[in-house]
Amino acid sequence: MAVEIERKFLVMNDDWRVAATDATHIVQGYLVSSPELTIRARVRGDKAFLTIKGATIGISRPEYEYEIPVAEALAMLTDMAVSPVIEKVRHLVPVSGTTWEVDVFEGDNTGLIMAEVELADAEQRVELPTWAGKEVSGDPRFYNVFLAANPYRSWPEGGQD
């Protein structure tokens, strides 16, 4: 079984931009959304994917991802997405032997910038870059599926605690 293990952080400043090596536009929408199961269609650059994720336990969850034709993903986003789509630009940022993904959200989630790093196991230590702020790994408000239904712009004071 494939397992996704990741930690997520709010981004405090733009210092990450100096080391960013890539930027890809992403549009994604949710076909099924429950605490136990999420099915998402995503167009990332010139490729598309169908992703199935199970329930999150700690910072891990089962994940399966399959490449699909872009036209089919776009049709799913238009015809089947149960909530508004998420739009963001993902930047890859190397940090001490790991690759961080910094997502700059657009549309109704403009103003939110999050970084995540995927880990080999839940106990893996990772060096936090200076621009990584508050950890939000376990906060469901920062899951993309939540942001689709509850856009960041609608949060009181940007949802900061």
Residue 17, SS3 per DSSP? helix
* pLDDT for res 18: 96
- Domain residue limits, the chain: 3-155
Facing residues of 89 across strands?
25, 104
Q: Which of 30, 66, 143, 152 is catalytic?
A: 30
* pLDDT for res 88: 98
* pLDDT for res 139: 93
* pLDDT for res 51: 97
Alpha carbon 1 to its chain's center: 21
Q: Are 61 and 54 in contact (CB under 8 A)?
A: yes
CATH T-level fold of 3-155: Hypothetical Protein Pfu-838710-001 (2.40.320)
Residues in the chain where the model's pLDDT stays below 70: 1, 158-161
Q: How many Cβ atoms from other residues are within 10 Å of residue 51's Cβ? A: 17
Residue 143 annotated to the active site: no
* pLDDT for res 160: 56
* pLDDT for res 53: 94
* pLDDT for res 35: 86
